[in-house]
Amino acid sequence: MSSNDKASALSGDKTTLSAWLRAEAGRFAKSQRLLVVLTLLAILLQFAALWMLSDFAQTWLMDKQPLEPGQFIVFAVLWGLQLSMLRIRDAVRSRFADRVLQYYQSALHQKLDERSLALIRQYSTAQWQSFFNRRIPALKQYFTDYRPQIYLSVLVPLVVILIVLPISWLVALILFITAPLVPLFMILVGMGAAAAHRSHFVALERLGSLFLDRLRARQLLTVFNRVNTERGFFQNASSELKARTLKVVSMAFLSSSVLDFFATVSMALVAVFVGFSLLGEVTFGHWSSGLSFQEGLFLLLLAPLFFAELKTLGRLYHQKAEAEGAADELRSVLSLAPLAVTPTELPLSIAPCEVMSVDGAQRIVSLPALVLHKGDKVLLSGASGNGKTTVFEALMGLRPISGAASMACLKRDDVAWLDQSPPVLPGTVRENLLLGEQFDDDKLRGVLAQVGLSEWLSNLDAGLGTPMGDYPPLSGGQRQRLAVARLLLENPGVVLLDEPTAHLAPAQRDSITELLTRHLADKTVLWIAHGLSIDDFFTHHWLVDESGVLSVSGEGGDED
């Protein structure tokens, strides 16, 4: 792809992300309008207080008249009302921010609950951490800070011009001419900020994933004397990340500097005009014969406020770029369509359909008409990468389908799934086995003995109470046997086994296979395996070929 094609694709993607963010902002329009109204009221109260302050200066300094106590009371009331309005606005913004976080976290949890492993496998641990800890908070700042500020940056300067115009048409003209330059340069500086933020998100996620991978393989790195090599690699990656971070920060700094420059120039012009007008050197630019001290001071006090909201928008503009970067992957997950699945009791009848990728864009496996009866034992085989695990995900109702309006699926609360890479929780051995259920310690020791982990348990300092932590003291085979022990404690109606004897030595593999066939004799079982010598255990054989088409042999198939 040429550089022009890449730039065009990037621009189109940026436009799509911006449109998605604007559409999402509609969910919170009421809260955003409330923030704008509260802020605008606080600013109007500030304008009134500044007019009174100018009047104080005129009366006391120029007219040499004493100030009335009532004036101080009104002045104090105005500032008090402004501070109260700002405190109310901050409280509303805080609740609004909590609501945005809760909404997107709940939406993400809903997609995870709906698609479970099928979706989880699509992203690394570091990416999921980034979704919750970086990307969603970036959306929160965009909706609670940047979006309301867009309206304030238009309304407040307009109000200032309307107030200034009856006093001095020249000052109003100066402000009117310089105001568009601020957002213009802000946009020019920010054009590359979104791409920089998106690259920064991806770099952080990839580096985090790589770091976690190296931590898990720390023993292997030590054995092969690769520790120093990997340390050097991470030092180089850290330097590149620092440079990337500096680039993002420098863009925000440049944007702020440009805004300050134009605001300073404009305020300097106003100050020069007011000063020479008060000295009588400038006799044009106002409607009367000249500016009074009160009017001149009021103009000087209003000029910074004219640019205050525009400068705040410039300071927050990087939040828009950061939100676009955050939405890049997050939008793909949140925009997933609801699955057309119907949880059903056994027997499970499935009409012919295509099992699709998580986003529904690509066919993975083609299913014929299938019937799964209670007590069936199904051997699912096929070469690696043909889509065997995808079949399990489809049966669980975790995948979108094509070719049928809806697909019957297993009820999740009656299914146990033993994966070839089972998770180990950071809690104790006991907590890893119980998973919220209640069994006595003798029962737990018994199932550990059945899978050959008695010696391992006896070597732990606290036995069943030993915490596993983030890096459990388990080999791959021990981890697999611990998961089998966990399964022995369960009583599901349907069991899905995805190469449950992976990572086991041949003798252990035979022992665990015999244990599983004995324990699951009265269950409905679907077993992904290669080269099992227990053909008499299975009643059906499903095969996924290289083109992703599933064929059925055995007693079942599409019969009732």
Q: What is the pLDDT of residue 559?
A: 40
Average pLDDT rounded to a whole number, residues 251-267: 70
Section 156-184 average pLDDT: 82
The whole-model pTM stands at 0.75
Q: Which domain holds residue 402?
A: 341-424+474-553
pLDDT at residue number 8: 38
pLDDT at site 525: 93
Within a domain: 432: no
* 397 plus 487 within the same structural domain: yes
221 and 249 part of one domain: yes
Please say which residue of 307, 336, 365 terminates a domain.
336
Residue 345 corresponds to which tokens in the numbers above? 């009791």
Say what the pLDDT of residue 62 is.
82
Q: Scanning the structure block, which residue is given the tokens 């989880």?
A: 120
- Comparing CA positions, the residue from 102, 84, 100, 98 lying closest to residue 42 is 84
> What pLDDT, in 10s, does the model give residues 355-397?
988 888 889 999 999 999 999 999 998 888 888 899 998 898 8
CA angle in degrees (0–180, nearest 5) for 504-506-510: 90
pLDDT digits 0-9 by tens, 436-472: 788 888 998 998 999 888 988 888 888 888 888 877 7
Q: What is the CA radius of gyration of the chain?
A: 34
User: Which pLDDT value is given to residue 96?
Assistant: 94
Report how many helices (DSSP H) and strands (DSSP E) the chain contains, helices first. Answer: 18, 13
Which of 169, 172, 143 lies closest to 157 in space, CA to CA?
172
- 183 and 158, same structural domain? no
Boundary-marking domain end, from 290, 309, 328 = 290
413 and 482 both lie in a single domain: yes
Look at residue 22 and tell me if it is in a domain: yes
Per-residue pLDDT, averaged over 186-199, amounts to: 55
4 pLDDT tier (thresholds 50, 70, 90): very low
> Do 148 and 254 belong together in one domain?
no
Q: Would you say residue 429 lies in a domain?
A: no
For residue 157, what are the contacts with CB-CB under 8 A and spacing of at least 6? Answer: 175, 179, 306, 307, 309, 310
Give the number of domains in the chain: 3
Q: What is the pLDDT of residue 340?
A: 84
Confidence of residue 218 (pLDDT cuts 50, 70, 90): low
Percent of the chain past pLDDT 90, that is, above it, reads: 18
277-281, 478-482, 507-511: segment of lowest average pLDDT: 277-281
Whether 180 and 155 share a structural domain: no
CA of 201: how far to CAs of 272, 318, 330, in Å? 46, 14, 11
Q: What mean pLDDT do residues 178-183 have?
A: 67
The pair of three-digit structure tokens given for residue 86, joined into one six-digit string? 């700002």
Q: Pick the last residue of a domain from 304, 336, 368.
A: 336
Q: What pLDDT is attached to residue 93?
A: 94
The residue whose two tokens read 């999921």 is 128
Highest mean pLDDT among 233-242, 257-266, 450-459: 450-459
Same domain, 41 and 130: yes
Which of the four pLDDT bands, split at 50, 70 and 90, describes residue 253? low
